[in-house]
Structure 1
Amino acid sequence: MERHLVLVANVREVGKGHFARRSRRPSGYVWQGTQEQFNPNQGTGDFRIVPSLQPLSDVHFNHQYQDNYSRKAHLPSLYGMMVVAVFILLIAAINFINLATAQSVQRTREVGMRKVLGGSRQSLIAQFMSETLILTILAVGLALLLTRPMLSAFESFIPRGLSFSVFTPNILLFLLAITLTTALLSGLYPSWVLSAYRPAQALKGQTGLLGNQKGYLRKGLIVFQFTVSLLFIIGTIMVGRQLSYIRNKDLGFSTDAVVLINTPQVDKSDVLAQQLRQLTGVTHVAKQWSAPMSEGYMLTKMTYRGAKAIETEVSAKIGDENYIPLYQLRVVAGRNMMPTDTLRELVINQTYVKALGFKQPAEAIGKLLSFNGRDYPIAGVVADFHENSLHAPIRPTFIAYMPGMSKDIAVKLATKGKQVSDVRTSLAAIEDAWQTVYPDKEFSYTFLDDSIARLYESDQKIARLVNTATAIAILISCMGLFGLATFTAQQRTKEIGVRKVLGASVVSIITLLSADFVKLVFIAFLIASPIAWWITGKWLEEFAYRVDVAWWVFILAGVLAMGIALLTVSFQSVKAALMNPVKSLRSE
């Protein structure tokens, strides 16, 4: 049997990165094939390549190894979509249960007549379940019609090449299962309640239910609906706060108008860099391996031999003497690298200074760090900057220049007093310079802001998911609440008429009709708050730098939910309160 495996090489020593090559060799030859695929001595003398294996089935969902031939999927987002879909389906089913049981009074005479004419309870249950099944089938059909346009809204969640076709066995089985499950969840309880009416009481329009049986399930289901809605509202606020924090967080370096260019050849990149420095719309040009914050990273171990040896795993940033001024990294002690320096001196960050045991940055200047049998003096110390996303803490970091690895170019564009058209002109000039150096290569570039934004793609997806789920959950909950408010107002028409005759004000009538719903939303708030606190806290733990779970978020969510509920029921409450009592009491 042929197994498809991914051979993954971990670049260690100076740098730790990943690259992958796919193999179609039979499993017995994998390790032999690995020796052919990767040369352990490939690259410079500072690198050691260690092959390992990754199952092909793991490639799509595993973000540990980055490659250029596959698109990664974010499993938490996919699971989140599934959970959201289940909750929305439950809320919709609850709406049906609430409205069906609330309106069951209107069908009591029908039930009584059917029972008098010999209808059994089983036949009544079958009838009501059939009605529910027909409604569910119609809903599934409508959902299928809306599926294709809706998929465009979730394009970022869906892998390329994935198509939706109803006429496949898996989809048909899923639709059948979801149809039957929804019909069963929605129709079983209303059918059971309706079929339980006694004929004598049903013919009089009475349900025969005891006082303590009336409305408890409906109230419980409303509480569940608003509990879910409150969870989504709190989640929306917290995710929005964290993403706003990420956008506004000082990263310790400048990201404004920085263009990143990947060049195909190291030797010619020097020529391109020199040409770019001559352009009027360019303020700085640096050769580098990567920007201060990027998807790629390098890790190595360096040793400081002071009173005792301290070995530290550090992040390596490779760039020339223009790297620090281009990104506006703040030098707090010592100096920048010299223009002629090629890995003879290092600049380290403040976190590395602390890891070495120094109290002040100046104490580290001139100290030697040992790597691969050579000693390198510390020339300067820069203030801490985020060299990874805010999911990870700032690591000990050094900056050095390695010509053999610095084939990429960063360009700082002049923006002061410039218009958008000036930036476009500068980009066109950069492209012209590219064409003179690499006439056979297509020019492409990335703004640093966009590169950093890609680090938070999964978080942005979660935000869109929670926002969409919140809107849908609130809409469905309000539709159900509006229907129940309408039914409640109709059922209490005579009571309202009597109260108005006895002098009750419009405000007191509105308060009376709204009070029950306010209590239910408050109970939902008490239930949702601790659950939301735990869920949002767990999500925020994924970030090394995050906002606090503030108490006011819960109060705001509760006020919003209460306001939405009151707005939903207020129309029917006001309408009932303003009704002429003569009309409601005419039949008495």
Structure 2
Amino acid sequence: MFKNYIRSAWRNIKKHKGFSFLNAGGLALGMASCMLLLLYSAYHLGYDRQFKDSESIYIVENNQKGDGKIYTFPATPAPMAGALKNTVPGVEKAARITSYNAGGLLGYKDNSLRKDGLFADNDLFGILSYRFIKGNPNRALTQPNSIVITADLAKALFGNDDPMNKMITRNNKTQLMVSGVIENAPANSTYKFDYIIPWTLFENEYDWVKTSGWSSNFMQTLVKLKSPQFFDNADKMTRKMIMSNQKEYEAEAMLYPFTALHLHSLFENGKSVGGLIDQINLFIILAICILLIACVNFMNLSTARSEERAKEVGIRKAIGSTRGALIWQFITESLILSVASLVVAVILVQLSLPFFNQLLKVQLSIPYQEPLTWVSLLVLALFTGLISGSYPAFYLSSFQPIKVLKGLFKGGGSALSIRKVLVVVQFGFAVFLITATICIYRQIKFVQSKSIGYSKNDLVEIDSEGDLPNKAEVLINDLKKNNIITNATHLSQSITSNGSNTWGVSWPGKNPEQKILFDMFRVGYDFVATSGVKLIAGREFSEAYPADTAGKNVIINETAAKIMNLKNPIGAQITVDGPVTVVGVYKDFVWGSPYQKISPMISYCNIKGGVIAMRLNGKRSITANIEGIEAQLKEINPSYPADIHFVDSNFEKKFQNEKMLGMLANLFGGLAIVISCMGLFGLATYAAEQRTKEIGVRKVLGASVTSLAGLLSKDFLKLVTIGIVIAVPVSLWAMGKWLQNYEYRVDLSWWVLAMAGLITIVIALATVSFQAIKAALANPVKSLRSE
């Protein structure tokens, strides 16, 4: 019997190729979109879960009170790891880890590569179960001159040679022996690196690390418990640890699940309130909605052919077919189409993955080797087939054979109302997606158009590494002499990335209870001329004032001046780990997130910073300037490949998350609309076929093509309009809630909703009008002759 179901279903599919193509095409696009979104969501949901006993791994978060709120960040004091391991029951391993200046130039013989690294304790390998290809994880970082490298770095440096115990030179000065080779770090893991070097080497390179106490937060602490059941007691003891070791320092550490760090990184008042998980949940909902839209198309097109299939049902019932048999017949048809659509969908996903990965900067793939993948694909096909075929099957099988065979049956009663509801839902969803796309685009443009306080165009940065710290002035003078740059300055870090801060700032008249976090940004001579930051009072640092380089003078931004409420800030004495004098005030500029309010900032003079910023000569081409800088770097710092960063490009990275969200809304919103239009096109085609006789009569009686096209289109446009009306309040609520995440945000104007509605109407009208005009232009003689 099952063979008969398949044979009959296949015969019916071939008989109606047009409808079958629309059904299968819509399902394929819906499945492909759903699979891509679910793959992307699974990629992020699986972050850091590939490590053994991941449920027992925690990172120490730090809660500090100030400005009337609690700041939470994963930076901890250096003694934290040892204290946890030695005093807290249930702690199996604890490790310090940081990327601070860990990256560098690695050399072996004539091969030199710039790579990213981490400083870490050897316990790290007992916490994060990186698979060792060579070496012993229990002692890989016990020696201060050891280095553990990834498989890719081993291949790049040593080719096919065995890298074990070979010596690598780091930054042309430190000799490191390869003590282990591990598999490359998973793409969806928090720590990205090419190598790991011992914590003792970090202490040897920076004396302040050895002496740093409980008030200095500059590294992360990872903890592995023997079992999650130890968490409550361990967390309770961890929360008291900083306060018990540092008097008059209001801070509270806490254990936070490492697997939650990526998705739940947003904190308020010391508690997690979300983060990237909110976007992932939206993508999952979007995936389900797009799949359901495709299923809705199938239902609409199947029930629209009710009259055509009524005779088939009547005859089958008359010769003894039961309703159950007919239901299975129709569901078998939908399952065949669903399986065919799944095959097409998998092909589409496979072809689009390279583009998708490049677009979103991820590494997605379909894990065909996993049995769960095939089970998931089978479930997707069955789910789609059953959902899309269920209502048509039950509806079509309910026809009464007597009425059908007597010609008394007229399809469309209940089915028509259901189809109307489904069309309304489809296009309401389309309106929401268009609104979201416009809103995200406006928000990005709004923040990008705001003044950032400095001129990012023609501004470049290079890392001060190798011989550059001692030869920076030679480089700058040579570049100026050759008219390649106009100005240059030293920075403690890139002007586009925020970094160190402090609570320890006081000033005359400060409320002793007031606690405000100040950004600390060290800058060199000619900072104003180089960056384009506007000096609004006083002066900038100059070699003519020895007190500048001695750390006795500081420059503050206007937000700091307002908070301190200094009538005349120039010459004011304030305290920042000691008394200093304010010699200048510069206008606020964006240092951290462009979406958040600018924090108060204090700058010390920095004549040997980690970054050299340079203003290119605008009268020359950018290519000529960059080539000139590269040539000078090769001469002055030959061991290091020139790595020049454009500030405007780095600044654009601050909008990466919002741009990604906008691209996904554009891409999958467009696919949802295409799928909806495929269904609408099929319905319009069928409606035109059903009204062929009516159109012929009206045309003979003098109806114009315009009036006939309007007659066929107006019913569908009514449904689209209802969808718009329903979608407007939903869009207002959802996008209003999304915009609340930003302190600087656009208003959700009425014209955004109006434009979304208009675009939807135009798309729907264009879809329906094609068939409407085609039917209206048909020769009425042919349709009436057939009668």
Query: TM-score normalized by structure 1?
Result: 0.87
1:24 aligns with 2:110: no
Identify which range, 269-278 or 151-160, moves more after superposition.
Answer: 151-160
1:92-124, Cα deviation, whole Å (9 max, x unpaired)? 111111001001221111111111111000000
Matched-pair contact (CA < 8 Å) for 1:276–1:433: no
Identify which range, 332-341 or 89-98, moves more after superposition.
Answer: 332-341
Question: In percent, how many aligned pairs have the same letter?
Answer: 33
Q: Which residue of 2 aligns with 1:102?
A: 304
**Deviation of the 1:534 alpha carbon:** 1.8
- Structure 1: runs of 5 or more not aligned: 66-72
Q: Which residue of 2 aligns with 1:475?
A: 674
Name the CA distance, whole Å, in 2 between partners of 1:24 and 1:291.
29
* Residue 384 to residue 307, structure 1, CA distance change in 2 (3 Å): closer
Equivalent residue runs for 1:411-426 within 5 Å: 411-416=614-619, 418-419=620-621, 423-426=622-625
1:281-303, Cα deviation, whole Å (9 max, x unpaired)? 11111111123332545444311
Name the CA distance, whole Å, in 2 between partners of 1:288 and 1:82.
43
* Residue 300 to residue 290, structure 1, CA distance change in 2 (3 Å): farther
1:42 aligns with 2:250: no
* Residue 25 to residue 570, structure 1, CA distance change in 2 (3 Å): closer
Matched-pair contact (CA < 8 Å) for 1:233–1:470: yes
Name the CA distance, whole Å, in 2 between partners of 1:351 and 1:307.
15
Name the CA distance, whole Å, in 2 between partners of 1:308 and 1:538.
36
Identify which range, 552-561 or 531-540, moves more after superposition.
Answer: 531-540
1:203 aligns with 2:405: yes
Q: Which of residues 513, 521, 538 is equivalent to 1:317?
A: 521
Matched-pair contact (CA < 8 Å) for 2:527–2:540: no
Equivalent residue runs for 1:214-363 within 5 Å: 214-264=415-465, 268-279=468-479, 280-294=483-497, 296-306=499-509, 308-309=511-512, 311-339=515-543, 340=546, 341-342=548-549, 343-358=551-566, 363=568
Q: Which residue of 2 aligns with 1:117?
A: 319
AA aligned opposite 2:464: T
Name the CA distance, whole Å, in 2 between partners of 1:426 and 1:299.
38
Name the CA distance, whole Å, in 2 between partners of 1:540 and 1:512.
42
Equivalenced residues, count:
562
Matched-pair contact (CA < 8 Å) for 2:75–2:220: yes
Name the CA distance, whole Å, in 1 between partners of 2:266 and 2:634.
35
**Deviation of the 1:553 alpha carbon:** 0.7
1:451 aligns with 2:653: no
Q: Which of residues 556, 561, 581 is equivalent to 1:377?
A: 581
Matched-pair contact (CA < 8 Å) for 1:229–1:473: yes
Name the CA distance, whole Å, in 2 between partners of 1:150 and 1:295.
36
1:156-207, Cα deviation, whole Å (9 max, x unpaired)? 5777665423241121121111111111110000001110011122234554
Q: Which residue of 1 aligns with 2:571?
A: 366
> RMSD between aligned alpha carbons?
3.1
1:118-140, Cα deviation, whole Å (9 max, x unpaired)? 10000000011011001000011
Name the CA distance, whole Å, in 1 between partners of 2:500 and 2:463.
16
The SS at the match of 2:571 is coil
* Residue 459 to residue 308, structure 1, CA distance change in 2 (3 Å): closer
Matched-pair contact (CA < 8 Å) for 1:6–1:53: yes
Q: Which residue of 2 aligns with 1:401?
A: 605
**Deviation of the 1:584 alpha carbon:** 2.9
Matched-pair contact (CA < 8 Å) for 1:294–1:387: yes
**Deviation of the 1:51 alpha carbon:** 5.7
Matched-pair contact (CA < 8 Å) for 1:299–1:313: yes
* Residue 35 to residue 281, structure 1, CA distance change in 2 (3 Å): closer
1:495 aligns with 2:698: no
Name the CA distance, whole Å, in 1 between partners of 2:530 and 2:406.
86
Name the CA distance, whole Å, in 2 between partners of 1:534 and 1:581.
50
The SS at the match of 1:411 is strand
AA aligned opposite 2:485: V
**Deviation of the 1:559 alpha carbon:** 0.9
Equivalent residue runs for 1:145-156 within 5 Å: 145-156=347-358
Query: TM-score normalized by structure 2?
Result: 0.66
Name the CA distance, whole Å, in 2 between partners of 1:397 and 1:98.
61
Equivalent residue runs for 1:78-227 within 5 Å: 78-156=280-358, 162-204=364-406, 207=409, 211=413, 213-227=414-428
Q: Which residue of 1 aligns with 2:272?
A: none
Q: Which residue of 2 aligns with 1:434?
A: 633
Matched-pair contact (CA < 8 Å) for 1:261–1:410: yes
Name the CA distance, whole Å, in 2 between partners of 1:252 and 1:497.
69
AA aligned opposite 2:535: V
* Residue 221 to residue 295, structure 1, CA distance change in 2 (3 Å): farther
* Residue 242 to residue 50, structure 1, CA distance change in 2 (3 Å): closer
Matched-pair contact (CA < 8 Å) for 1:38–1:49: no
Name the CA distance, whole Å, in 1 between partners of 2:76 and 2:631.
37
1:458-485, Cα deviation, whole Å (9 max, x unpaired)? 1111111011012111111111111111
Higher relative contact order (CA 8 A, sep 6+): 1
**Deviation of the 1:225 alpha carbon:** 0.7
